[in-house]
Each structure stands twice: as C-alpha cells, then as structure tokens.
Amino acid sequence: MAADSTVVSNTENLMKYMSLDQRGRVMAEYVWIDANGGTRSKTKTLSKAVKTVEELPEWNFDGSSTGQAPGDNSDVYLRPVAIFPDPFRQGDNILVLCETWDADGSPNKFNFRHDAARLMETHAKEEFWFGLEQEYTLLGTDGWPYGWPRGGFPGAQGPYYCGVGTGKVYCRDIIEAHYRACLYAGVNISGINAEVMPSQWEYQVGPCSGIDMGDHLWMSRFILHRVAEEFGVRISFEPKPIKGEWNGAGLHSNVSTSATRAEGGMKVIEAIMKKFEARHVEHIAVYGEGNEARLTGRHETGSIDKFSYGVADRGGSIRIPRQVAKDGKGYFEDRRPASNADPYQITGIIVETMCGGL
Ligand code: ADP
Ligand code: MN
Ligand code: MN
Ligand code: MN
Ligand code: MN
C-alpha cells in the first residue's frame, strides 16, 4: 500500500535498531481502556522475562490526561491482569492488559472488567463460553472510508461481502497483519471476513470462557489500532459510520453454557429468551453508543425498541442458528451489541440476566 504523504516511516532503517540486543531486559507494554472506549499504552522496562501477572509491578498514569481522573487527584493505578506475547517487539517482550484503579482503592469509573470478573467467578460452574464477532471500518486519514472516492460513494453493496478482487476489498494487508499478530499474541481469534459495506471487515474471537472473552477482545482491538497505525489507516468502531443504504457495524455476541450445550439445551435457550425479553432496555443501555442509528430493523438488524428472536432470523434481536435448532442444543447469537460496545459490559449483563447479579 502506498503510504499517505503525511505518514513518515522508514521501515528499513528502523529494522537496524530493532535487531539490537536488549541485554536481557524486557519491554512490557502496559495497555488499558480509556474513557472513550479506546486503548492507551505505555512501556516499562523489566529487568528480566516474566511468565505471570503476579511478577509484574503495579504502575500508574496521569488520569487527567485521559479523562479518567480530575487534575487535583490525577493518579490512576494500572493493575496487570493478563499477559500476551508482543507481536510488535517479539522475543521476551510482552503486552500487559491492565485494570484501572483509583487512589482510594476503588475501581476506576471506566473499569468495567472488575464487576464482570466477579460475575464470571460467581457463576463459574455454569461454564459460560462467548464468541464475539467484531465488525469495524477502515478510514483514510481524511476520515472517509478507505478506498472510497473522495467525498463520493462506491457502487452499491453486493460484491463486497467476503469479496475477492480489486475494487471489492480494501487493505487486505492490514487484515492479514492483524490476524497473524493476534495468533502470535495468543489472542483466540477464530476467523476473518470482508463485510457487506466496502472497507468494512469482521474478525471473530472465541469461544472464550468467562472473563477471557473481554480480555482477548480488548487486546485484539489494541493490536488492530497498532497495526493500522503502521499503515497510516484509521480504525473506526462507529456502529453506523455512513448513513443510508450502507450496513452498520456490530459486535454479535454468541453465548452458551454447559446447560445449553447439553442434551435438551434448546429448552434451556427458550427459557433464557424470556429472561432476555424482560431486560431488553437494560441490555440496550450497555450495548454501545449510537446504536439507535444501526438497529433500525433493516440491514440485517432488529429494531432497537422491540425484543425478538427466532431460528435463523438475522432481522431479530437474537438468532438461534439453524444447526442449533436441529441438534436441539448449542448456543445463541445476541445481534444487538454495536461494534463499539464494551465486551466486559456485554458479557457481564448476559451473565447477570441469566443467573442473577452479584
Ligand atoms: P455468523 O457470521 O454466521 O453469525 P461467525 O462464524 O462469524 O457467525 O461467528 C460465530 C461465532 O460463534 C464465533 O465467534 C464462535 O467462536 C462462536 N461460537 C461457536 N460456538 C459457540 C458456543 N458453543 N458458545 C459460544 N460461542 C460459540
Ligand atoms: Mn511525564
Ligand atoms: Mn460473522
Ligand atoms: Mn458480520
Ligand atoms: Mn453474526
């Protein structure tokens, strides 16, 4: 891909430095979630390689610079919760996913992992599995979808979904790089596909059990932003980036428990649907900002105002896959979450609705 004129990089020159010996020391990239559903990160040098989060020191950052704390009490603490091999620096270097904690010992306002982790632990015997389908859009540095005519539109939707060939897909290099980087990092990425709107893509993460779902999805988002940065392309998780006859972007959330996966699971799923119906409004409240522009009842979505479900129904809130109905057991797909929703909040409220709160 030709670099945008505003992007200055010299990969060949950089490689000379990247191959210098680290002298046994290790770079740990501490990653956290900010106030706007983005990721932030900074690096710490460790004296030696580590294998577990217990070996990692707590750290902190200036929360007044990220909208996560007031200026007069700005320290926010970073508590390591998961380690991933670093696909960018490689070797013993690591990515460290962190929870954010305030100085008074309470979870930061934007730390949605804390409650989710407690819920997962409380209901661990249900053996929750989740699989999330992350849709997103590639934008040029001008904020318009990558590869679209400047200020204009490409041909109508149709040839792009799982498309092959020039003019049908864009930035396959970024998508391939992200896929490989996730595999290297041990993120449980399970597939990719080009989406209905040109320059929109999807990857799936899962099945993951319990809190791992949020951890792996957040790390996959960090890696995506980080890869795209090197290509001078922006990643958008906007649920409806382009108004009109263009598909929005979702975060379909597939769910199962040991009971739904066992014989008679279909009956269990039917009972779960009643519980979901009763809490539609509460779910929508944490299923992403701007989701009302996407959940219109058109473009393969259900209406935001009304809960519905059905077998093989891509126009409902929840779809029970045909194969699951046929087998009489398996999982279901909550199609409501928007691409920008927080996976901890999604999986958290699903567990709460099915099993009760803390
Ligand atoms: P589609 O596009 O047809 O909705 P995908 O193949 O994109 O489906 O995604 C299906 C998702 O379902 C995958 O992320 C996978 O991990 C997840 N999944 C499959 N089986 C289960 C299960 N038993 N429990 C939870 N998630 C599951
Ligand atoms: Mn400083
Ligand atoms: Mn999918
Ligand atoms: Mn999709
Ligand atoms: Mn889906």
- The pLDDT of residue 4 is 53
Nearest by Cα to 185 from 214, 154, 224: 224
Cα–Cα dist 286/349, whole Å: 8
Q: Decide: residue 194, CB within 10 A, 0-12 exposed, 13-18 middle, 19+ buried.
A: buried
Structure tokens at 227: 């890869």
- The pLDDT of residue 7 is 56
pTM of the model: 0.96
Chain mean pLDDT for the chain: 95
The pLDDT of 107-134, averaged and rounded, is 98
The pLDDT of 210-223, averaged and rounded, is 98
Cα–Cα dist 334/314, whole Å: 10
- For residue 336, the ligand closest to its alpha carbon is 5
Contact status, residue 145 vs residue 241, Cβ threshold 8 Å? yes
Tens digit of each residue's pLDDT (9 = 90 or more) over 18-63: 999 999 999 999 999 999 999 999 999 999 999 999 999 999 999 9
207 lines ligand 1 (CB under 6 A): yes
- The pLDDT of residue 240 is 97
The rounded Å distance from CA 133 to ligand 3 centre is 5
139 lines ligand 1 (CB under 6 A): no
Tens digit of each residue's pLDDT (9 = 90 or more) over 281-312: 999 999 999 999 999 988 888 899 999 999 99
Burial 24-56 (b: 16+ CB within 10 A, else e): eebbbbbbbbbeeeebbbeeeebeeebeeeeeb
The rounded Å distance from CA 61 to ligand 2 centre is 9
Cα–Cα dist 271/318, whole Å: 13
- How many Cα atoms are found within 13 Å in the side-chain-facing hemisphere of 108? 30
The pLDDT of 210-214, averaged and rounded, is 98
User: Helices 113-122 and 343-355 meet at what angle, rounded to 10?
Assistant: 30
Tens digit of each residue's pLDDT (9 = 90 or more) over 236-276: 999 999 999 999 999 999 999 999 999 999 999 999 999 99
Q: Kind and range of the H or E element at 112?
A: none
Does the pLDDT of residue 11 top 90, yes or no? no
Burial 156-192 (b: 16+ CB within 10 A, else e): ebebbbebeeeebbbbeebbebbbebbeebebbbeeb
Cα–Cα dist 13/249, whole Å: 38
Q: How confident is the model at residue 6 (pLDDT cuts 50, 70, 90)?
A: low
Q: How confident is the model at residue 1 (pLDDT cuts 50, 70, 90)?
A: very low
Tens digit of each residue's pLDDT (9 = 90 or more) over 62-120: 999 999 998 888 899 999 999 999 999 999 999 999 999 999 999 999 999 999 999 99
- The pLDDT of residue 8 is 60
The pick from 128, 132, 133 for probing ligand 1's pocket by mutation, whose C-beta has the most ligand atoms within 8 angstroms, reads 133
Cα–Cα dist 29/93, whole Å: 8
The pick from 204, 257, 319, 339 for probing ligand 1's pocket by mutation, whose C-beta has the most ligand atoms within 8 angstroms, reads 204
